[in-house]
């Protein structure tokens, strides 16, 4: 038996498995429910009505589609505004559950799944990506995010960041003793017309926007 000393704001990515939401509420003391759901989800109104019958305050965040970026941004926003969060990762299909687990992991939020009617807690690590990044690396990410047309060459990125080419190359590619942004899969590079184009990955964009 689990003895609870607090109640939680249960966050759920709702997309196909509302029963897991109700099972979680039955087992975990719930102060509030926060739903994240795609705008084309036909379940959300019925689920919200059901929760109102349970007298559980409910907030619904509508996202354009079920993507890592949209869910990460929404979870980060909720985390800044709410306390005592716990994410139910079983309220969506395989993709939604994967995204929910990842969002919990990068935000250091507690999480659980529902397996055969039983609650299983996930070993979510609490850490910050920002502790792994030097300020110069963050400057590169923010520069790439602020200007969608940047950067078709290292020279262009060098000018925007006011770094030397060797220093810029070091932060992007790293060396034997330090990972670069490319190794950390925060940027990707592509050669063309004798130039190296640098673009953000999805995780790199989320870091630049403070969403993880």
pLDDT over 70 percentage in the chain:
93
H or E element: which one contains 64? none
Read off the pLDDT of residues 42-63 as tens digits, 9 standing for 90 and up. 888 899 888 888 889 999 999 9
Among residues 108, 109, 186, 87, which one has the least CA distance to residue 140? 186
**In whole angstroms, what is the distance from residue 158 CA to residue 113 CA?**
46
Q: Where is pLDDT greater, at 141 or 209? A: 141
- pTM for this model (two decimals): 0.72
Which residues on adjacent β-strands are paired with residue 188?
A: 199
pLDDT (tens digit per residue) in 125-147:
665 666 678 888 989 999 999 88
Neighbour tally for 121: CB within 10 Å = 12
User: What pLDDT, on a 0 to 100 scale, did the predictor assign at position 208?
Assistant: 84
Task: Characterize the bridge pairing of strands 195-200 and 187-192.
Answer: antiparallel
Give Cα 156 distance to the centre of its chain: 30
Residue 104, classified by CB atoms within 10 Å of its CB into exposed (0-12), middle (13-18) or buried (19+), is buried
Q: What does the pLDDT read at residue 86? A: 95
Q: Determine if the peptide bond prior to 151 is cis (ω within 30°).
A: yes
**By the 8 A CB rule, do 195 and 153 touch?**
yes
Cis amide leading into 102 (omega within 30)? no
All domains in the chain, ordered by first residue: 8-121 (3.40.50.10770), 129-208 (1.10.10.10)
Residue 80 above 60 pLDDT?
yes
Cα distance between residue 162 and residue 34, in whole Å: 43
């Amino acid at each position: 038996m689990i003895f609870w000393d607090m109640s939680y704001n249960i966050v759920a990515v709702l997309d196909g498995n509302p029963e897991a939401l109700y099972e979680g509420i039955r087992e975990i003391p719930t102060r509030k429910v926060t739903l994240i759901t795609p705008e084309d989800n036909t379940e959300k109104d019925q689920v919200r009505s059901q929760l109102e019958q349970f007298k559980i305050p409910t907030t619904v965040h509508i996202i354009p589609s079920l993507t890592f970026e949209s869910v990460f941004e929404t979870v980060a926003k909720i985390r800044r505004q709410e306390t005592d969060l716990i994410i139910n990762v079983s309220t969506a299909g395989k993709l939604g559950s994967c995204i929910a687990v990842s969002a919990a992991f990068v935000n250091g939020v507690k999480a659980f799944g529902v397996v055969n009617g039983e609650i299983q807690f996930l070993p979510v690590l609490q850490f910050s990506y920002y502790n792994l990044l030097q300020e110069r690396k963050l400057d590169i990410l923010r520069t790439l995010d602020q200007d969608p047309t940047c950067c078709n060459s290292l020279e262009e990125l060098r000018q925007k960041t006011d770094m030397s080419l060797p220093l810029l190359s070091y932060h992007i590619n790293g060396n034997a003793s330090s990972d670069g942004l490319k190794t950390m899969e925060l940027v990707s590079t592509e050669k063309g017309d004798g130039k190296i184009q640098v673009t953000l990955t999805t995780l790199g964009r989320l870091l630049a926007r403070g969403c993880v």
